[in-house]
């Protein structure tokens, strides 16, 4: 009875071996799972480190780009300010130069007008001298045909002076006024009138002694 109840040492050893084998297998499986978990953690850590490094690089790039853009904006603002100052100086210089030119043109126009007026006076004096009666008061200084030619020539001169005067004084009617004055003066003083023709032919009216 006692011998039957005694335990077999071999079976006990086999049972312990099987238990240890199962335990070792479980430990190996746990180790495998832990190894994979650690590998995944390492991979995730590496990916996170790569992402952090990439983010830092991007941050550095953005910071550099921001500084560069800020410098470019400052340079552009400074250039715009300098250009504005140059433009204002140029405009001021242009206005001053324009005022000087306008003043010089006005002075020249005034001098030209005075010279033209003086020329008008000389031409009228010459006309009066050429178209007047001689010392005797009976004959004109110039023959009738020559007096007509002189009258036309003087009229052309006066019209030219009138055109110059109109350009200098911006008076469009200066030429017409001068031509009208010349026509009126010629009809009174020129030998082409009845006095001149009478003096040349010996009949009709004669030059009156002044």
* pLDDT band, very low/low/confident/very high, at 178 (cuts 50, 70, 90): low
Domain residue ranges in the chain: 109-201
Give 99-114 pLDDT, tens digit per residue. 999 888 888 888 888 8
**Residue 174: its pLDDT value, please?**
55
Using CB atoms within 10 A of its CB, is residue 200 exposed (0-12), middle (13-18) or buried (19+)? middle
**Residue 54: its pLDDT value, please?**
94
**Residue 165: its pLDDT value, please?**
76
Q: Are 153 and 209 in contact (CB under 8 A)?
A: no
Give 41-81 pLDDT, tens digit per residue. 999 999 999 999 999 999 999 999 999 999 999 999 999 99
């Amino acid at each position: 009875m006692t011998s039957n109840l005694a335990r077999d040492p071999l079976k006990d050893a086999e049972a312990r071996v099987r238990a240890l084998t199962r335990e070792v297998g479980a430990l190996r499986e746990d180790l495998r799972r832990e190894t994979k978990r650690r590998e995944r953690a390492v991979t995730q850590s590496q990916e996170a480190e790569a992402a952090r490094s990439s983010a830092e690089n991007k941050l550095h790039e953005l910071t550099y780009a921001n500084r560069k853009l800020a410098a470019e904006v400052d340079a552009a603002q400074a250039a715009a300010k300098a250009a504005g100052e140059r433009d204002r100086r140029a405009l001021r210089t242009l206005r001053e130069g324009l005022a000087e030119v306008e003043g010089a043109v006005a002075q020249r126009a005034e001098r030209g007008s005075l010279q033209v007026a003086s020329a008008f006076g000389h031409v009228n004096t010459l006309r009066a001298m050429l178209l007047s009666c001689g010392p005797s008061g009976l004959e004109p200084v110039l023959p009738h045909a020559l007096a007509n030619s002189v009258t036309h020539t003087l009229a052309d001169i006066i019209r030219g002076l009138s055109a110059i005067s109109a350009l200098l004084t911006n008076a469009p009617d200066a030429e017409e006024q001068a031509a009208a004055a010349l026509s009126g003066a010629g009809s009174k003083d020129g030998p082409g009138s009845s006095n001149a023709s009478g003096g040349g032919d010996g009949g009709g009216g004669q030059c009156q002694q002044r």
